Amino acid sequence: MNGKRMATGLVSSLLIASGSFALPYTNNMIAHFDGTSMTLTNGNKVARWLNQTGNGDAWTVTSDAQPLAVQLQNDAGDTYTVLDFDGVGNHLTMSGDTNNYDGNTFTWIIAYKNGDTNQDGKALFGTAYDHINGGTTAANTGTWQTFANSGNHLYVAGRSASGGFKSVSTYPPDNGWHVISGKWDGSNRLYAWLDENYLGKTSGVDAHPTGHHRSRIGSGAGATASGFFKGMIAEVIIFKESVADADRLAIEDELLAKYSTLSDLTPYDRWTQAYDLSGADSAMTNNPDGDLANNLAEYALGGDPTNSADMGHLPYSETVEDGGSNWFQFVYYMRNDAVTRGLSYLPQVSSDLVAGGWATNGISTVGVGTFDSEFDSVTSRVSTASEEAQFMNLLMEFQN
């Protein structure tokens, strides 16, 4: 089906696994996750988020808990794929060489968007350990982590040797995209920054966790698979060192430039991107493949705007007899989410082909049915009694 072809195009554009990235500082970087290293399943769910440092780590999860991969665009027109966590069950769990996460010297930077002001201990990134300082603290204790709390409160946290909770926290000014950074400096101090602004530090973070139990993103604080984060995460970067301020700032600069102005694409923008249309070729009134359908018609009918042999589900007409009368019947296909997309479909009739002669008088809709997962079929008709000849036209309109 032509409509499905559109979805396929979108998936393939998300499945970029090039691994090409260039952060301004990468010494002792043990994890780098961004939108170019996701494996997606049906419905653009994220089955696997691969660590691009090449150490083999990945975040994975069972199918019912997978966050969605969504494409967003920033003010510069650049598009990024980010993870959208539903706050109900979506999360990812680290697999691989998790001993990388043992230690007490880390710097971690996360680009995220909060999606709920009533979060209560929901981890953007959290680690949990079997033991802190030889097992004096209960197993599975959450240790170094970044989590959202109620009232849009955000924490960068660690532990003392006795298991005490140590944190720096802030209230981000809005629910937009932010870059939150934490540093555990190897001298028992924890620092935090939001959007490059220093938030403060805490000392006595003298836990020495060993036996890394797990790391999760989007889960409950302490990396528990309960109480889930609602919001989006675009990028996670972790260093096993105390990164110098200038190097951290260079990375934060880059992340803010990429993500701070991200906003939703319109459905039409997503569609043009799926076909790699840009500039004038992406205008609704243009017809880059030179067939009989402009981009608006291709979009409305599920056509391929780059293939002149594919205009989607074209309407057709036939003459039928019903109840002793003859009818000129017209079948067309409309997207079942037309309202969301701002699309309307209007059959018109004319007794000649004079411009301006199209009207809706006398047309009645006699049936609407499901055609496929994306389209409904609509049958309209007009009586043939009054006119010698009749022509029908399908008017497709877009309104923001």
**Chain residues that interact with Ca ion, rule: CB under 5 A:** 287, 289, 291, 293, 298, 303-304, 310-311
In degrees rounded to 5, what are phi and psi of residue 92?
-135, 145
Distance separating the N- and C-terminal Cα atoms of the chain: 27
Q: Closer to Ca ion at the Cβ: 34 or 304? A: 304
Q: CA torsion, points 84, 50, 104, 167, in degrees to nearest 10? A: 0
Q: Closer to Ca ion at the Cβ: 228 or 299? A: 299
User: Rounded to the nearest whole angstrom, what is the least distance from the CB of residue 85 to Ca ion in the complex?
Assistant: 37
Q: Closer to Ca ion at the Cβ: 280 or 385? A: 280
Q: Closer to Ca ion at the Cβ: 55 or 287? A: 287
User: Rounded to the nearest whole angstrom, what is the least distance from the CB of residue 1 to Ca ion in the complex?
Assistant: 15
Do the beta carbons of residue 205 and residue 211 sit within 8 Å? no
User: Rounded to the nearest whole angstrom, what is the least distance from the CB of residue 287 to Ca ion in the complex?
Assistant: 4
Look up residue 245 and give its two tokens: 């301020």
Do the beta carbons of residue 390 and residue 350 sit within 8 Å? yes
Q: Closer to Ca ion at the Cβ: 163 or 267? A: 267
User: Rounded to the nearest whole angstrom, what is the least distance from the CB of residue 311 to Ca ion in the complex?
Assistant: 5
In degrees rounded to 5, what are phi and psi of residue 171?
-115, 105
Which residues pair with residue 62 across a beta bridge? none
CA torsion through residues 127, 129, 134, 139, sign: positive
Place of tokens 């991107």: 273
Place of tokens 């989590």: 147
Look up residue 370 and give its two tokens: 């499901």
Tell me how long the chain is: 400
Q: Closer to Ca ion at the Cβ: 123 or 301? A: 301
User: Rounded to the nearest whole angstrom, what is the least distance from the CB of residue 343 to Ca ion in the complex?
Assistant: 16
User: Rounded to the nearest whole angstrom, what is the least distance from the CB of residue 298 to Ca ion in the complex?
Assistant: 5
Q: Closer to Ca ion at the Cβ: 303 or 347? A: 303
User: Rounded to the nearest whole angstrom, what is the least distance from the CB of residue 300 to Ca ion in the complex?
Assistant: 12
Distances (CA, A) of 70 to 10, 37, 94, 184: 10, 13, 21, 32
